Amino acid sequence: MPPGPGGQSLLVISQVYPPDPASVGQHMADVASAMAARGHRTVVLTADRGYDDPARRFPRREQAAGVEVRRLPFSSFGKRSIVIRLLGGLSFALQAVWAGIRLGRLDGVLVSTSPPLAQLAGLLVSRLRGAPLTLWVMDLNPDQMVALKLLSPSHPAARLFDWLNRRVLARARTVIVLDRFMAERVLAKLDVRDKLAVLPPWPHEDHVGPTSREGNPFRREHGLNGKFVVMYSGNHGPSNPLTTALQAALRLRDDPRVAFVFIGGGIGKSEVEAVAGPTILSLPYQPLDRLRYSLSAADVHLVTMGDDVVGIVHPCKVYGAMAVARPVLFVGPARSHVGDLLAGEEIGWRVAHGDVDGLVELLRGLVERDADSLADMGRRARRILQHGLSKSELCGRLCDILEQGPAAARVAS
């Protein structure tokens, strides 16, 4: 399908894409469909299997919301190990290069850093086709692997990924980062301030919104009616440590008023399942059409971030909590994006990693707290989201950047 009159032809390279539930794929889909709605031909290259669950298979080709989705085989083997993930990423990248150079007219390429090898495909297609590259930095590797002590800074793989990062940053016409801490880390790699935009991700507002606790089918299905629900919803990974929260949950497991619900997947899921029981539920990712009910089932949303990964990853879970008008309970460092949000507005609380006593005391106080005051905090959080962090505003700005380049990036920042 050719672009509309005056439209561009955009290639989006993303190893994950709906119906895969990974957040990066959902955000890529929002941008792709918005660009298609603006009259641009938009082609997505993605994997034909689930990233977290490779047993899930998706159609090899489809037209979705005006977007041409082309799924590549042998591009996802699961997340059992780093090696397995890298093999899937490399296979995807090589196939995406081959598919990208065979497309017809190409006016731009959009790629993210998650998973990390996708940017290799973006770099090569951009060079070979002479098309401007937009890099959407959603996390940073090898920084994450080094921070988690899975790689040393001098390891050949770390040095190779650092080299790739600098090459992609140098090639990109525009670089988009998610917060000011990520901007600092990117600028330490290469000075790209003349083409840098700081643009937070947005909540999946098409699928989430406030739903009352009363009559919520998710609460009823999982026996949560009448309980104070602390919920963690998202990837269970080492960058989002859950140990402090789980220790608090164990201390409170004999309190019938409190329930902890951990929804999602990832290599840290086993830590939750090891202590799961009647008051500590471990559930899989929820379908998008049930997301508004699962997120709204919480009285407070748990968001975590490791002390050493500030500026490396971005805590997107906070936006889901704000979208359903629920307060935020953050376990992580004060100097962070969520720390900034909580310091600026009364929408939640922060506890340091390791402070189990403090977290237990806080939760006991929240159970006794007036429900109306918690509801007020949640409504305040949603208003903040709607006035500056909404999908329509942020996705619109990103589309402007894709159309206009660095000039629009400077406005977005």
In a domain, 207, yes or no: no
Q: How far apart are CA 16 and CA 69, in angstroms?
A: 11
- My answer on whether 187 and 304 are in the same domain is no
Write out pLDDT tens, residues 221-264. 999 999 999 999 988 989 999 999 999 999 999 999 999 999 99
What global pTM score does this model have?
0.90
CA angle 83, 87, 88 (to 5 degrees): 120
CA pair distance 242, 232, nearest whole angstrom: 9
Question: Is there a domain that residue 209 lies in?
Answer: no
What is the extent of the structural domain holding 408? 9-202+391-412
Q: Are residues 322 and 368 in the same domain?
A: yes
Residues 181 and 302 in one domain: no
H runs (alpha helix) in 148-231: 156-171, 180-189, 217-221
Q: Are residues 133 and 229 in the same domain?
A: no
- Half-sphere exposure of 110 toward its Cβ, with a 13 Å CA cutoff? 29
Q: How many CB atoms lie within 10 A of CB 368?
A: 9
pLDDT category, 402, cuts 50, 70, 90?
A: very high
Does residue 243 share a domain with residue 99? no
Asked if residue 272 and residue 307 are part of one domain, the reply reads yes
Answer yes or no: is 305 within a domain: yes
One domain, residues 170 and 79: yes
Same domain, 160 and 242: no
Q: Residue 57 to residues 16, 32, 51, 336: CA-CA distances in angstroms? A: 12, 21, 10, 37
Task: Check pLDDT > 80 for residue 411.
Answer: no
Do 379 and 288 belong to one domain? yes
Shared domain check, 159 and 24: yes
**Domain-embedded: residue 268:** yes
Counting the structural domains of the chain, the total is 2
Mean pLDDT over all residues of the chain?
92
Q: How confident is the model at residue 43 (pLDDT cuts 50, 70, 90)?
A: very high
CATH at residue 166: 3.40.50.2000
**What's residue 145's pLDDT?**
93
| Claim to verify: residue 401 and residue 374 sit in the same structural domain | no
Which tops the pLDDT comparison, 134 or 203? 134
Per-residue pLDDT tens over the stretch 130-148: 999 999 999 999 999 999 9
User: Residue 2: pLDDT band by 50, 70, 90 thresholds?
Assistant: low
End-to-end CA distance of the chain: 34
Q: Is 402 in contact with 110 (CB distance < 8 Å)?
A: yes
